[in-house]
Amino acid sequence: MSELLHRYAHARAGDKGDRLSLAVFVYQEAHYSWLIEQLSASSVAALFEHRGVSHVTRYLLPHLNGMNLVLDDALQGGVNGALNLDGHGKTLSALLLSMKVAPPPT
């Protein structure tokens, strides 16, 4: 059985050139270790594979119960180079939050 990540966390997106930054924070502190298990760099890279992501770096933020995911080559050239409607990648946090995850332990 799987759930969607948005049920347990919220996220915010930012950009620098062709690099996307996704900050993810769990709603409940008890779910932080679960988040670390669910969002590996490889699972996030697989989710964004269709966008041409070449590398994902994960930075853990234990005092904030979250993490920052940095995705290289995710914005199809960035704000000035992309022809898509969301050159900043702001809507891509919604894509991450739609990721299927295992429910956290109770």
| pTM (two decimals) | 0.87
**43-72 average pLDDT score:** 96
pLDDT band at 74 (very low <50, low <70, confident <90, very high): confident
**45-61 average pLDDT score:** 95
DSSP label of 84: S
- Looking from the CA of 19 toward its CB, the CA atoms found within 13 Å total 9
pLDDT tens digits for range 78-102: 565 554 544 445 678 999 999 999 9
Identify the H or E element spanning 47. Answer: helix 41-47
What are φ and ψ of residue 57, in 5° steps? Answer: -115, 135
Provide the pLDDT for residue 87. Answer: 42
